[in-house]
């Protein structure tokens, strides 16, 4: 019994945290109104449609990268533009395969990111010497960063920032010279060296952004260690850590590197200036805050600036206090700085601000690494440094309580600390979340069912044996075309995921011969496009009516009806014609 208790005790905080995270997730997103096995938590154009469609293709046995329902009968793929997040794709594929339901697999995938982040941050804070209670409270707040909830249904893969806390801990240990990441450390702790190395390599499997930012803070920490020790050789641990992370990136990028001949997404160096953040955006409350006055003020602020995804950088009240405390440590005397636990946090945080904010070094990095442009995403690193700062203050508060009540009951300090932690966590979660995070489940259900019925009508019209190979009007490049009128990017995917028997002309990779042909044909008259579709094996025309103004739409409908007869099916945004012999 004692042996069992000894085994369960280390795991117990994680089990409790997991239960609390799941309960909080249910409350924040009102999951009791969702039908997780039937309807996706997000059903709208944009990146979330791409993530959902990937689950559809994975469930149908298409692997991690192939998209056979796009680009006519030839199929498409994501090799040339995926975000080097191989580990996340494997996890998404696993959930889709195990559940046998791509909708449920997708929903579990995006929601599981909360558990990943929670467990990792709890371990990381405990590794820094924080008590279970303090680490528990701060990891819960870190798990429900506004960044996480905003990303959940937009850039779902970025919600898996679970290796960021470990990267921050590694950087602090590199700074202190205690990181067991060099070959010399095998003699000290072989187990720790191997586990650290695995984590560093896996960093390269969870997206290029977090790997890049991690390498940056490792380098800064190594420079600081070398400066403090007076030995240039001290930087080797940081360089070794960077090398292992790069190895992970290269391995994860192998699928992309083997398809370099395919065209992909082109980035501009100026993107870094657009998608960096302001210091004020870190400190200000979230957009659509629960308190109407605060929400109104934030809306006015957003109207004055060029807000985009950098609006999701808000740290929330608790971690904003941590950031202020960190930055205030700049003004400590030199002697106090050397002995302050906040000093290394200050150095690393300022370094993050120097590449994450508008008008900073990100502008120059943008031209060297044009594929990395959203430097505002470094906010999750800053947030964890702020969590550590708050943890240090809470540890000092705990020590003060123990000293004050040393002659009285030992329960009093524990009770006071627990009450403070509950208040901080509760207030923090209320501040960091919003009712606007809750998806419109009824609208999702209606839209999903309408598209499903429309696709079913198309398939039955074309014949289930033949399937539907549809030429889409207007032409939309893939990926990242942007909106055409009111027709949003990736909108065709919302139709393609309703049947394995539907194939769209949309999806040919930008710059390929097939895409160039479709682009050229797409600029011609609708009669010429119909002739091309008939000659190339398409058995239907699908018009997105919200891509044009009313006059243009009416003209296209009239000309297409003249050529093919009356439409065979309609929906709120599409009209379908069968192409006869």
pLDDT in tens, 432-480: 999 999 999 999 999 999 999 999 989 988 876 777 889 998 998 888 8
- Distance between CA 219 and CA 213 in Å, rounded? 10
H-helix or E-strand containing 569? strand 569-570
Per-residue pLDDT, 185: 54
- Distance between CA 81 and CA 93 in Å, rounded? 18
Asked whether 434 and 290 are in contact (CB, 8 A), the reply is: yes
- Distance between CA 259 and CA 324 in Å, rounded? 46
Percent of the chain with pLDDT over 70: 92
- Exposed / middle / buried, residue 112 (Cβ in 10 Å: 0-12, 13-18, 19+): middle
- Distance between CA 59 and CA 545 in Å, rounded? 30
Alpha helices in 156-277 (DSSP H): 164-176, 190-203, 208-229, 236-252, 254-257, 271-274
pLDDT band at 155 (very low <50, low <70, confident <90, very high): confident
Per-residue pLDDT, 188: 54
User: Structure pTM?
Assistant: 0.92
pLDDT in tens, 183-238: 555 555 678 888 888 999 999 999 889 999 999 999 999 998 888 777 776 788 88
């Amino acid at each position: 019994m004692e042996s069992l208790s000894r085994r369960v005790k280390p795991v117990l905080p994680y089990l409790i945290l997991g239960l609390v995270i799941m309960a909080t997730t249910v409350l924040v997103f009102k999951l009791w109104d969702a039908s997780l096995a039937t309807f996706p938590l997000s059903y709208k154009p944009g990146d979330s449609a791409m993530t959902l469609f990937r689950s559809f293709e994975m469930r149908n046995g298409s692997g991690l990268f192939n998209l056979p329902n796009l680009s006519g009968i030839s199929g498409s793929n994501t090799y040339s533009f995926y975000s080097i997040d191989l580990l996340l794709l494997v996890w998404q594929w696993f959930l889709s395969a195990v559940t046998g339901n791509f909708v449920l697999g997708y929903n579990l995938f995006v929601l599981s990111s909360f558990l990943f982040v929670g467990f990792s941050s709890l371990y990381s804070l405990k590794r820094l010497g924080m008590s279970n209670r303090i680490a528990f409270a701060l990891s819960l707040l870190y798990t429900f960063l506004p960044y996480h909830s905003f990303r959940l249904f937009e850039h779902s893969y970025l919600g898996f920032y679970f290796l960021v806390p470990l990267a921050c801990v590694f950087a602090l240990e590199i700074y202190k010279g205690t990181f067991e990441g060099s070959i010399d450390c095998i003699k000290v702790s072989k187990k720790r060296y191997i586990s650290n190395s695995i984590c560093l390599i896996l960093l390269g499997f969870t997206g290029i952004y977090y790997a890049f930012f991690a390498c940056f803070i490792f380098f800064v920490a190594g420079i600081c260690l070398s400066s403090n020790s007076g030995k240039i050789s001290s930087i080797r641990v940081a360089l070794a850590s960077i090398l292992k992370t790069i190895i992970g990136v290269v391995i994860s990028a192998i699928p992309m590197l083997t398809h370099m001949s395919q065209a992909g997404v082109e980035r501009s160096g100026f993107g870094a200036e657009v998608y960096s953040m302001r210091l004020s955006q870190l400190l200000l409350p979230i957009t659509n805050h629960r308190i109407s006055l605060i929400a109104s003020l934030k809306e006015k602020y957003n109207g004055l600036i060029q807000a985009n995804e950098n609006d999701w950088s808000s740290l929330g009240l608790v971690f904003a206090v941590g950031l202020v405390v960190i930055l205030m440590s700049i003004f400590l005397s030199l002697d106090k700085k050397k002995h302050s636990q906040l000093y290394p946090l200050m150095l690393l945080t300022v370094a993050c601000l120097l590449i994450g904010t508008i008008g900073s070094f990100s502008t120059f990095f943008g031209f060297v690494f044009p594929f990395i442009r959203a430097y505002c995403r470094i906010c999750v690193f800053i947030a964890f440094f702020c969590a550590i700062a708050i943890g240090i203050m809470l540890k000092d508060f705990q020590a003060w309580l123990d000293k004050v009540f040393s002659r009285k009951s030992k329960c009093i300090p524990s009770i006071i600390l627990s009450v403070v932690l509950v208040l901080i966590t509760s207030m923090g979660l209320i501040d960091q979340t919003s009712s606007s995070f809750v998806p419109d489940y009824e609208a999702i259900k209606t839209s999903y069912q309408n598209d499903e019925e429309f696709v079913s009508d198309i398939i039955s019209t074309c014949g289930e044996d033949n399937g539907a190979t549809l030429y889409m009007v207007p032409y939309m490049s893939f990926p990242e075309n942007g909106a055409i009128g009111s027709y949003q990017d990736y909108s065709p995917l919302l139709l393609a995921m309703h049947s394995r028997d539907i194939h769209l002309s949309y999806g040919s990779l930008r710059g390929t011969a097939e895409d160039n042909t479709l682009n050229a044909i797409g600029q011609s008259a609708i009669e010429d496009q119909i002739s091309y579709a008939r000659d190339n094996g398409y058995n239907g025309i699908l018009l997105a009516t919200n891509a044009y103004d009313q006059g243009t739409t009416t003209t296209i409908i009239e000309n297409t009806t003249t050529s093919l007869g009356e439409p065979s099916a309609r929906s709120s945004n599409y009209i379908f014609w069968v192409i006869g012999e």
